């Protein structure tokens, strides 16, 4: 078999073949897209030129075959199995054509494997082999189980992941084409204010005292720059080979922070500057205190810029360290200034932290530990750090309304989000002890709930309280949620219920039929309008991003207002 170091491997061109019966939902077109769009074939390492086929359809390959033979580079390869490529209830043929010049080339480690979103099958047993350039018949799935080299045992996926050399981008419309796909309620207007190449993977928007727009481009996501994944679980929580250092001593990545200005007041951003680039897990930037704060997990950085020339005065200062990055779609995020002058941030559901204050806490201190979703805050002047509220959904983005109350969205159903109070102990995203661990305070009298909202499908992940003067009067004070899964914005009204709120959806005023429209963040703008950050991805589930189904070159920002 390909992975057996002692196996005899004939020189020249030949075909390895096995058969696999996959879970039904991997092959059910018309069902949930996530399952059929999340199937990949992985070849850990191969020094032989190869091409991989499923049921006679080519998935990809590496190296060259004669007459211009060239071996593969020996790096792991991942190939997408397209929707419809697998047959339901049948034995699918996996064939790998190889050119083994001298008989020394081999598939290494455990051999090839096939992965879905949560399950995988390792082809580490028997394989068939056929010499020559002609593929073995039949080149299609079989109804009856083959007598040999047949696999149907799947288990929770745990093989380490890596960024594929070729990324799968999915369908993509031009900015003007996507803009034309918007469906707006009467009385609304929308326009594109920034798009690629000026914007890519935007995850956070903020404004400085001059009204300029700061954009965080999370382009390095999902893999930390320079690190190697050494293990992971089915929830995509991973361990890496080391802790990254802060800039400028880090491995340079692709993320960046930019600033955009409308110098002539015509509503168009006409100057564009890169404030910081070659960053790794940087997903939020917030100007203030004579500089810019950047959430660059595992560190909270401060770039001093006293003369406000948009050039850092020196290397960033590490104010906090120890934020977890087990799952990079849940890392610390959403930087926001609170009405109390503290800097607030969020942490998602599938990471943990042990936060320390470099230069303040003694070396070796364990830090402030927390597992899962929560809201934290930091006071720069006194270097105080604390957990503000425990629990929530997979918290992404924070919003203070006009009277200082704190909200976030939720990546589950049944709610439009959470209303947080200081020291509140809130329901976490779920109750699975394998995912979230035991309750953090076993002596608490239960947990505070999310805001009830009725029958709501998942999810409105980011919410803001509308307060802009250029927005409709009927919207003022209402919550607006961004739903990247269903590609729309949802407007909800709040009603007081005890010490918190309940919500009621009043409409979906902004929709887009472009399958890549993914609103992930919103901000009330200084001109009274509302800006929307569009991650712009055909594939939006984080597991798909770890499978390298992601387009790091795309992103848009829209301005929404009343006509």
Q: What is the pLDDT of residues 224-266, one digit of tens each?
A: 999 999 999 988 999 999 999 999 999 999 999 999 999 999 9
Q: Enter the tokens of residue 126.
A: 């028997």
- DSSP state for residue 91 in the 8-state scheme: B
Averaged pLDDT, 48-66: 94
d(CA 53, CA 381): 60
73 pLDDT band, cuts 50/70/90, is confident
Domains of the chain: 12-156 (2.60.120), 175-562 (2.120.10.30)
C-alpha distances (whole Å) from 279 to each of 216, 252, 500 are 10, 6, 39
Whole-number percent of the chain with pLDDT over 70 = 95
pLDDT for 118 equals: 95
**pLDDT at 435 > cutoff 80:** no
**pLDDT at 4 > cutoff 60:** no
Averaged pLDDT, 296-300: 98
Cβ pair 456, 410 in contact under 8 A: no
Cβ pair 542, 327 in contact under 8 A: yes
**pLDDT at 439 > cutoff 70:** no
pLDDT for 429 equals: 65
Cβ pair 283, 346 in contact under 8 A: no
Cβ pair 41, 112 in contact under 8 A: yes
Each residue's pLDDT tens digit, 160-205 = 999 998 899 999 999 999 999 999 999 999 999 999 999 999 999 9
Q: Got the DSSP string for 110-153? A: T--EEE-SSEEEE--S--EEEESSSPPS--S-BSSPPSSSEE--
pLDDT for 467 equals: 96
CB-facing half-sphere around the CA of 147: CA atoms within 13 A: 0
Which is more confidently placed, 518 or 444?
518
Averaged pLDDT, 107-119: 86
**pLDDT at 335 > cutoff 90:** yes
Averaged pLDDT, 442-470: 91
The dihedral over CA atoms of 544, 546, 551, 556, expressed in degrees to the nearest 10, equals 80
| pTM for the whole structure | 0.94
CB-facing half-sphere around the CA of 352: CA atoms within 13 A: 14
pLDDT for 5 equals: 46
* SS3 of 48-65: CEEEEEECCEEEEEECEC
- Across the chain, what does the average pLDDT equal? 93
pLDDT for 528 equals: 98
pLDDT for 107 equals: 67
Q: Enter the tokens of residue 3.
A: 């992975």
Each residue's pLDDT tens digit, 493-519 = 999 999 999 999 999 999 999 999 999
pLDDT for 10 equals: 72
pLDDT for 105 equals: 53
47-51, 115-119, 267-271, 548-552: the lowest-pLDDT one: 47-51
pLDDT for 440 equals: 72
Task: Find how far residue 243's CA is from the centre of its chain.
Answer: 20
Each residue's pLDDT tens digit, 95-112 = 999 998 776 556 666 789
480 pLDDT band, cuts 50/70/90, is very high
Averaged pLDDT, 11-19: 92
| Per-residue b or e along 58-79, where b marks 16 or more CB atoms closer than 10 Å to that residue's CB | ebbbbbebeeeeebbeeebbbb
Beta carbons within 8 Å of 363's beta carbon, 6+ residues apart = none
């Amino acid at each position: 078999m390909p992975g057996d170091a002692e196996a005899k491997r004939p020189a020249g061109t030949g075909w390895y073949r096995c058969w696999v019966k996959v879970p039904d939902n991997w092959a059910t077109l018309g069902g949930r897209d996530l399952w059929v769009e999340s199937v990949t074939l992985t070849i850990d390492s191969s020094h032989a030129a190869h091409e991989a086929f499923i049921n006679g359809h080519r998935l990809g390959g590496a190296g060259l075959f004669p007459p211009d033979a060239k071996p593969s580079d020996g790096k792991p390869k991942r190939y997408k199995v397209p929707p419809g490529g697998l047959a339901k209830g049948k034995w699918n043929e996996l064939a790998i054509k190889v050119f083994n010049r001298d008989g020394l080339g081999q598939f290494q480690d455990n051999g090839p494997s096939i992965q879905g979103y949560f399950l995988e099958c390792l082809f580490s047993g028997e394989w068939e082999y056929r010499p020559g350039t002609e593929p073995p018949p039949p080149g299609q799935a079989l109804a009856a189980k083959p007598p040999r080299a047949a696999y149907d045992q799947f288990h929770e996926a745990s093989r380490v992941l890596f960024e594929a050399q070729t990324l799968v981008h999915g369908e993509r419309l031009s900015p003007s084409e996507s803009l034309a796909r918007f469906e707006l309620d009467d009385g609304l207007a929308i326009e594109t204010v920034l798009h690629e190449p000026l914007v890519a993977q935007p995850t956070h928007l903020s404004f400085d005292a001059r009204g300029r727009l700061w954009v965080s481009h999370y382009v390095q996501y999902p893999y930390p720059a320079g690190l190697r994944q050494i293990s992971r679980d089915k929830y995509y929580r991973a361990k890496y080979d080391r802790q990254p250092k802060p800039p400028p001593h880090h491995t340079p990545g692709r993320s960046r922070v930019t600033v955009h200005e409308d110098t002539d007041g015509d509503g168009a951003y006409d100057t564009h500057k890169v404030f910081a680039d070659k960053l790794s897990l940087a997903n939020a930037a917030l100007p203030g205190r004579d500089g810019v704060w950047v959430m660059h997990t595992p560190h909270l950085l401060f770039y001093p810029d006293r003369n406000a020339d948009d050039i850092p005065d020196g290397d960033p200062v590490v104010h906090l360290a120890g934020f977890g990055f087990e799952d990079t779609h849940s890392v610390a995020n959403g930087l926001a200034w609170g009405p109390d002058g503290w800097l607030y941030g969020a942490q998602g559901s599938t990471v943990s932290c042990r936060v320390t204050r470099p230069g303040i806490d003694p070396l070796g201190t364990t830090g402030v530990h927390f597992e899962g979703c929560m809201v934290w805050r930091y006071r720069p002047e006194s270097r105080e750090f604390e957990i503000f509220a425990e629990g929530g959904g997979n918290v992404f983005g924070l919003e203070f309304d006009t009277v200082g109350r704190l909200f976030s969205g939720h990546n589950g159903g049944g709610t439009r989000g959470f209303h947080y109070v200081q020291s509140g102990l809130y329901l976490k995203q779920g109750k699975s002890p394998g995912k979230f661990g035991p309750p953090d305070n076993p002596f608490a009298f239960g947990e505070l709930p999310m805001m009830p909202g009725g029958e709501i499908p998942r999810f409105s992940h980011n919410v803001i309280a509308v307060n802009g003067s250029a927005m409709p009067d009927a919207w003022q004070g209402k919550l607006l949620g961004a739903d990247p899964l269903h590609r729309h914005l949802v407007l909800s009204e709040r009603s007081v219920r005890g010490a918190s709120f309940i919500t009621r959806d009043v409409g979906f005023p902004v929709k887009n039929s472009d399958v890549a429209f993914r609103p992930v963040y919103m901000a009330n703008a200084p001109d009274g309008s509302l800006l929307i950050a569009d991650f712009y991805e055909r594939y939006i589930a984080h597991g798909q991003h770890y499978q390298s189904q992601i387009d790091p070159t795309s992103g848009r920002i829209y301005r929404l207002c009343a006509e």
